[in-house]
Amino acid sequence: MTGKSQLGDFLQARRSQLRPEDVGMPTYGERRRVPGLRREELALLAGVSASYYTRLEQGQSLSASPEVLDAIAGALRLDESERRYLRDLVRVDRPRTRGRRPAPERVTEATAQLLDVLAGVPAIVLGRRGDVLAWNGLGHALFAGHLDPGAPDRPARRPNMAALVFLDSHTRDLYADWPGKARAVVGNLRLVAARHPQDTALHALLGELSAKSGEFASLWADHRVKACTVATYEMRHPLVGPLTVVQQTLSHGPGPTTVVATTEPGSASRAALALLAQSTVPTIPTDPTIPTDPTDPTRTGSWASTA
């Protein structure tokens, strides 16, 4: 990256999002030319010199100590995910030697067994870039029933959940609060990009999304950071209608993560999910002389085949 460092971009963006009244700093009614805190005000809150903070923000100094970073994080009111991101950015901007190419992401036997056990719960396995490495039948039906169920088995055709959220009309319509889902996706991608700065495939994905989606480009420039661990989403499924799910990310250290979607016991959403599960049952041969109803939601097949 040329020009200002990623650390500097992040500091400037977050400083511009803090107003003097947010931190109890008097302004005495003065008019400000730019939004947010001034550099000297942020430096005062962090307990560092204005000149030193300016060098950090301009990318002229990459030697901030953990204590200084903690002080700046406190002044910016960063949460734990944002603090971790800030520390990762310092490592990103420091000179480094060429690292190894990341190993191909695969689904372990243990994860495959987990998917099998979770047959009654929508579950998908995601790589760090959001590539779908595997899904169970209900996970496919809930999140991407319009796509080929065998796509994750072919690396060249694996769906990417971030790309689906921004570039796929079916996925956009699936989330009632699409802007909230979009922000969560971008916030998580920022964490991943700082953690894996030499992942060329990840940078290619970010470039593609920025070029094809103005909404993604705008959110990326906002420098918001968000760890996608647990979130509640209102979904509008084309087969079973509205339902509310809690998406939880199950992580076991570095490597792919498993995302599951649960519903409240006894709720209409649980009933909708049970109805959707019927569409994942393998088709049983029937008498061809007996006509079938194409609108029957218990038939198997993708969204497209039931449309």
| Same domain, residue pair 47 and 138 | no
**Is the domain of 65 the same as that of 122?**
no
Q: Do both 39 and 154 map to the same domain?
A: no
pTM: 0.77
Please tell me whether residues 141 and 238 are part of one structural domain.
Answer: yes
Asked if residue 146 and residue 269 are part of one domain, the reply reads yes
End-to-end CA distance of the chain: 46
Q: How far apart are CA 186 and CA 179, in angstroms?
A: 11
DSSP assignment of 224-286 equals -----SEEEEEEEETTTEEEEEEEEEE--SSS-EEEEEE--TTSHHHHHHHHHHHTTSPPPP-
Which CATH number do you get for residue 14?
Answer: 1.10.260.40
Q: Smallest Cα–Cα separation from 261: which of 240, 235, 280, 298? A: 235
Among 4-18, 79-93, 226-240, 275-289, which range has the highest average pLDDT?
Answer: 226-240
Tens of pLDDT, residue by residue over 260-297, are: 999 999 999 999 999 999 877 654 444 444 444 433 33
Same domain, 206 and 241: yes
Helix or strand (DSSP H, E) at 132: strand 132-135
